Structure 1
Amino acid sequence: MYNDWEHRYDGIICNPPYFKFHDYDNKNVLSEMERRLKCKLNGFCNLYALFLLKSVYQLKPGGRCAYVVPSEFMNSDYGKLVKSYLIQSGTLRHIIVFDFEENVFEDALTTASIILCANDGTSGRLRFTNIRSVAELSLVYELIEGKSVVNGACSRSYSFSEIDSAVKWKRYYQVQNGNGFRDLVPFSTYARVVRGIATGANSYFTFNLSKARDHGISEKYLLPCICRAADVQGHFFTEGDFEWLKEEGKNVFLLNAVDAEDKHVLNYLKKGETEEIHKKFLTASRHPWYALEKRPPAPIWVSVFNRSGLRFIRNEAGIRNLTTFHCIYLQENLFSNITVDLLFAYLLTDTARLIFEDNCREYGNGLQKFEPNDLNKGKLLDIGKLPHNARAEMLSLYHSYSEQKDRQFVEKIDNLLLEHFAC
């Protein structure tokens, strides 16, 4: 990253290292990159994206570059500035994206794409091609050789002016589920999503009853909390579910020691300092180091990772959650006719999950991930526009589902939504 900037090359082929921002000296590397490229970059950049930008910079006139990298940067927040530089350089020609359910590299759970660049000044267009396997690369050869249509290849071409570096590029190479509906609005119109509580040292801050007894810590200094996604089954989490987990010895408490004067709590804090818990990345930035992030209990939780679609949970127990789930809070709007129950009724549907998939992040072997902003900026049907009788019907079906747990009631909500919003 610091060397060889003056040299230019006819051809560069690269499979760069994949390091997240905290795995390399990103502060100094980014400073060097920004000085050389005369552009701003995001501090969360994966190192492979920086390798790509450096290679584009070092192409000779007429030079070409081929990279194999994860497709993550095309759909992440840090990738916006990377994509902007690539478009402005005028060198980006072809992006070949492997289906994210295909694990191209057996020893790595990652997506895969091939980026082709040319410093020839002859094109103002970018082609995206979707392929399902390595064997289908033969189709790409035909596209590169100039055939505009190749049977079996899902390929689309766009002028640079049509490409928006600020949006997820999935829209350019995948069918968008939301296109089949009208009256879509950002999810943030009705709710906001934030990540769960990050302790910085879960093994220290989380408790079960046995650990609390061993250290003499009263429940007065412990907050009820869901610590593992596997501890929550189904779409509803009740006080009875929490009590069952507690009696089963699960970690369902967080240490809440601010302003505590109890000698047992103070001894436990000293133990944490002896173990240098206070020097960890997150705890070192908190004052005091053992203070918890302020997160009121969220009425709805949503899964972070999934392979079978987003999972939403109604937090009827009113307890907190760690980062195993994101928190969903209803927006405070005096003029909104949306209640938590109505929103949750919508979120239970296949329609809601399909539309959200347009904004997910994809990893190898079919794994999806949603960061809070992926959901905040994702779309939902504007259920506030539903007639009063339709909203009442949705709520009635939802209450029937919550009582009987029969999926047919959710299917009826789905049908109601399709009736009002399908194009």
Structure 2
Amino acid sequence: MREGEYILETPLGYRKDYGQFFTPSPVARFMAEWVMADDPSSILDPAFGLGIFYDEIKKINPNSNFQFTGYEIDLRILDFVGLNGRERNLKIINDDYLQAERASYDAIICNPPYMRFQKFITRHDVLPKIEQQIGQNLVGYSNIASVFLVKAINELKRNGRLAFIMPFEFFNAGYGENIKKTLLEKFLLKQIIVFANEKDIFPDVTTTVCVLICQNDGHADAIKITRITNNEEINQISRIGDFYQFQVNSSDLPCYSKWTPIISAFFSPNQLPVDFCQLSFYGAFTRGIATGANDFFALRKSTIEGWNLPEDNLCKCLTKSQQVKTAIFTEGDFLRLYHADQPVYCLDVKDRKNPRIINYLKTGEKLGYHQRYLTKTRSHWYKIERRNPAPILFGVFSRGRLKVIRNLTTAINFTCFHCFYPNIFGEPLINKLFVYLLSDMGQNILKANKRSYGGNLDKFEPGDLNDSLCPNQTQFALIEEREALGVIELAAMDEKLAIDASNLLMERILNG
């Protein structure tokens, strides 16, 4: 439906505000074929958009007497489409589907909006209404797409069919647990479709997506796992239900487990080593310090000198991910950043009565920093969390190799990094843990728990890292401490050589 023309006419910021990205015709076609297989009388699209699903359904059965209902909150896109009232079997409702009264449909097909639920202005009104309709608590749901799916599932008639595009991250996120539980316990989920070369198929997508194929027939069928590599492959599929590489029982997909590593393992030639333990056995990753006003709390040399801020009210701090470009961060690296006037100190108020501190805080209050979301919730708005320097830092976002840093300084860090704090078991193994995280094997195993956001951008929450697997104590004993220190020394000079050296040490564990 003239998608290219709409994109050219509509600013990107506007489309992002409405969470709009459009379904490619080949994908819409196989989704439409699935929901039309039993010749439904009533069809719902909760996020009509440009009407691609309606177009594909008409092609499949142009003479059918089905009634197609589409919800679309964006009047601009409806004006662009210009279909309402011109199609006998189409009813478009210019309203928010999430606020609509509960109904029931033979078929539901949807590419829901993609935005964080926190950006949804009417969420406080929407959630209680949906919770009452479905009898389920939705607190903690962080993506509107997931709420669309929950509501749609509860409006699917007996034997009805559903095809939904979803962000892949819900497989791993906490808010996805209840959704997965519903899909499994009601025997709804029939097939999961993932895409190997997503940008070739979804060129405008901003997050990694999958397609869920469901039917409300109450049959405990094996769940099909499908991976599609390109549009040519889609065009060769006659029936999506017949195209799959693996089948699993619902028991193989526990609702409280992360599904990404389970699904990825089917298509990975690498098997996980035996007897590995969870990383949390050795300690815990936690997020960095959230100040609520980094531009106020992060201090440069010039700022410190200009305000003559006392040294005992400052602490060393990494405030931006790009400040660390190598796997080893030393005091010498810190000093170079400081003298380059990078913001590598943090305000840490200990002497509230110091006149220089008073003046700096007053200036911050004049600029409204004390009224920010986080700062205004504190008893003293300028008091940040107390943290010790972490020996290992991990980049929250990454493309390609994951950013793992052996921190040899006394610097703490903001939320640009997650911090690993070892326990009594991890403390003597900290260098070996770093070697493992630096190695290709460690990186690949960690990536099984990643959250993908399109464009090869990966994100990790602390829990994702803590749940990852790593060698047990006996396996780490196969590596000598001097060898781990040798990798660290090498990483300070040549990271590629250090990675090669860490790979050799990991091979010893694999072969041990």
State the TM-score, normalizing by the size of structure 1.
0.89
Task: Give the CA deviation at 1:408.
Answer: 4.0
Q: Which residue of 2 aligns with 1:97?
A: 194
Decide whether the 8 Å contact of 2:196 with 2:227 is kept in 1. Answer: yes
Task: Give the CA deviation at 1:356.
Answer: 0.9
Q: Is 2:64 aligned against 1:64?
A: no
Following superposition of structure 1 onto structure 2, how do residues 20-169 of structure 1 map, counting pairs within 5 Å? 20-24=116-120, 25-99=122-196, 102=199, 104-138=201-235, 140-144=237-241, 147=242, 150=243, 155-169=245-259
Letter in 1 for 2:343: N
Q: Which residue of 1 aligns with 2:109?
A: 13
Task: Give the CA deviation at 1:198.
Answer: 0.9
Q: Is 2:298 aligned against 1:206?
A: yes
1:42-73 CA-partner distances (Å, limit 9, x unpaired) = 41431111111111100122222222222111
Structure 1 residues 402 and 28, CA, compared in 2 at 3 Å: closer, same or farther? same
Structure 1 residues 346 and 264, CA, compared in 2 at 3 Å: closer, same or farther? same
* Distance in structure 2 (CA, Å) of the matches to 1:345 and 1:259: 41
- When the two structures are aligned, how many residues end up with a matched partner? 412
Q: Which residue of 2 aligns with 1:325?
A: 417
* Distance in structure 2 (CA, Å) of the matches to 1:213 and 1:108: 46
* Distance in structure 2 (CA, Å) of the matches to 1:259 and 1:400: 39
Q: Is 2:465 aligned against 1:369?
A: no
Task: Give the CA deviation at 1:406.
Answer: 6.6
Q: Is 2:489 aligned against 1:397?
A: no
Letter in 1 for 2:500: E
Structure 1, unmatched stretches of 5+, are: none
* Distance in structure 2 (CA, Å) of the matches to 1:298 and 1:89: 45
Structure 1 residues 37 and 188, CA, compared in 2 at 3 Å: closer, same or farther? same
Letter in 2 for 1:390: I
Aligned-pair identity (%): 32
Structure 2, unmatched stretches of 5+, are: 1-97
- Return the match for 1:411 from 477, 484, 500: 500
Task: Give the CA deviation at 1:393.
Answer: 5.6
Following superposition of structure 1 onto structure 2, how do residues 181-330 of structure 1 map, counting pairs within 5 Å? 181-330=273-422
Structure 1 residues 387 and 366, CA, compared in 2 at 3 Å: closer, same or farther? closer
Decide whether the 8 Å contact of 2:476 with 2:509 is kept in 1. Answer: no
* Distance in structure 2 (CA, Å) of the matches to 1:320 and 1:347: 20
Task: Give the CA deviation at 1:397.
Answer: 3.4
Report 1 or 2 for greater relative contact order, CA contacts < 8 Å, sequence distance ≥ 6.
Answer: 1
Decide whether the 8 Å contact of 2:118 with 2:142 is kept in 1. Answer: no
Decide whether the 8 Å contact of 1:102 with 1:133 is kept in 2. Answer: no
3-state DSSP class of the match of 1:109? coil
Decide whether the 8 Å contact of 2:286 with 2:419 is kept in 1. Answer: yes
Decide whether the 8 Å contact of 1:103 with 1:365 is kept in 2. Answer: no
Letter in 1 for 2:185: Q
Decide whether the 8 Å contact of 2:432 with 2:479 is kept in 1. Answer: no
Q: Is 2:482 aligned against 1:385?
A: no
Task: Give the CA deviation at 1:372.
Answer: 0.5
Letter in 2 for 1:213: E
Task: Give the CA deviation at 1:221.
Answer: 2.1
Decide whether the 8 Å contact of 1:128 with 1:172 is kept in 2. Answer: no
State the TM-score, normalizing by the size of structure 2.
0.74
3-state DSSP class of the match of 2:239? helix
Following superposition of structure 1 onto structure 2, how do residues 167-178 of structure 1 map, counting pairs within 5 Å? 167-175=257-265
Structure 1 residues 131 and 338, CA, compared in 2 at 3 Å: closer, same or farther? farther
Decide whether the 8 Å contact of 1:183 with 1:421 is kept in 2. Answer: no
Task: Give the CA deviation at 1:280.
Answer: 1.7
Task: Give the CA deviation at 1:108.
Answer: 3.8
* Distance in structure 2 (CA, Å) of the matches to 1:62 and 1:246: 65
